[in-house]
Amino acid sequence: MTLEILTSDSLSPFRHGFFTRKGGASSGVFRGLNCGTGSSDQSEIVEINRRRVAEAMDAPVEQLVTVYQVHSPDVLVVEEPMTGDKPKADAMVTNTPGLVLGILTADCQPVLFADPRAGVVGAAHAGWRGALDGVLEATLEAMEGLGAKRSNISAVIGPSISQKAYEVGPEFYDTFLSEDMGNSQFFAGGDADRMMFDLPSYGLYRLRNAGVGDAEWIRHCTYSDPDRFYSYRRTTHAREADYGRLISTIRL
């Protein structure tokens, strides 16, 4: 099956893609393009999937760089392919031609960044914790360290869980309001004491408030479309043993 790759004109002319689960070699609960080395999927099958992604990005798999994501605001400046254990971080930036930055998600926001004038790209994993702690702003700062200009940077949020599927409790709500009372705008009422959180809108708010030249969400909900996307929350609700990870990539 052919890979399905979602793209945005905002990131041109850089080769990039928000890959769906279609076209992969995995089976069972991982059916499709599972690129998560941290899943319980067969490692050799995950490697086949990663090779397919690298080929779609016109690069050898050794040039595909991913990190050990831990929901942090930490950003890694990547200058060459990685070998050995993956460093812990949740975002990467580079100005090295040929390197492919890859972010893994299954409801959290994959965010791809590009400054075509400076020749700098970035990729971030921005769940609620990372976004609240500043991973998006930290990525912009790291890109500026490589010569990018914030007003020239385009940032695109890929498939993420949408507000209609993201129910949270009062403690979650209080955490956001303790940071900024204005964050109440990203919540809508749910059943009883539950609230519905709008993660992509929060990501867009943080990006635009940080001064990026352009920011958008491609408007695909991971939870609501099981044929195309993996979802941690959907897997949890279905009481499945594990879940696949989507990959989003960008390269110079």
Element (H, E) at 53: helix 43-56
Q: What's the pLDDT score for residue 189? A: 87
Tell me if 109 sits within 8 A of 203, measured CB to CB: yes
Tell me if 157 sits within 8 A of 192, measured CB to CB: no
Q: For position 212, which CATH number holds?
A: 3.60.140.10
Confidence label for 241 from pLDDT (cuts 50, 70 and 90): confident
> Is residue 176 assigned to a domain?
no
> Is residue 185 assigned to a domain?
no
> Is residue 173 assigned to a domain?
no
Element (H, E) at 162: none
Confidence label for 1 from pLDDT (cuts 50, 70 and 90): low
Range of the domain at 204: 5-162+198-251
Terminal CA-CA length for the chain: 27
> Is residue 115 assigned to a domain?
yes
What would the pLDDT profile of 48-90 be if each residue is shown by its tens digit?
Answer: 999 999 999 999 999 999 999 999 999 999 999 988 889 999 9
Dist. CA 195–CA 163, nearest whole Å: 9
- Listed residue (66, 58, 71) closest to 85, CA to CA: 66
Q: How far is CA 251 from CA 85, 123, 150, 238, 242, in A?
A: 22, 10, 19, 36, 30
pTM: 0.96
> CB atoms < 10 A from the CB of 42, how many?
15
Measured at the CA of 97, the angle between CA 92 and CA 99, to 5 degrees, comes to: 45
Dist. CA 68–CA 80, nearest whole Å: 17
> Is residue 183 assigned to a domain?
no
> Is residue 177 assigned to a domain?
no
Dist. CA 49–CA 60, nearest whole Å: 13
Amino acid present at 59? A
Q: What's the pLDDT score for residue 206? A: 98
Question: What number is the average pLDDT over the span 196-211?
Answer: 98
* Strand pairing report for 214-217 and 154-157: parallel
> Is residue 181 assigned to a domain?
no
Dist. CA 156–CA 113, nearest whole Å: 7
What would the pLDDT profile of 151-161 be if each residue is shown by its tens digit?
Answer: 999 999 999 99
DSSP assignments along 222-236, one per residue: TTT-TTT---HHHHH
> Is residue 209 assigned to a domain?
yes
Q: What is the mean pLDDT of the chain?
A: 96
Question: What number is the average pLDDT over the span 32-38?
Answer: 94
Number of domains in the chain: 1
Tell me if 240 sits within 8 A of 1, measured CB to CB: no
Q: What's the pLDDT score for residue 207? A: 98
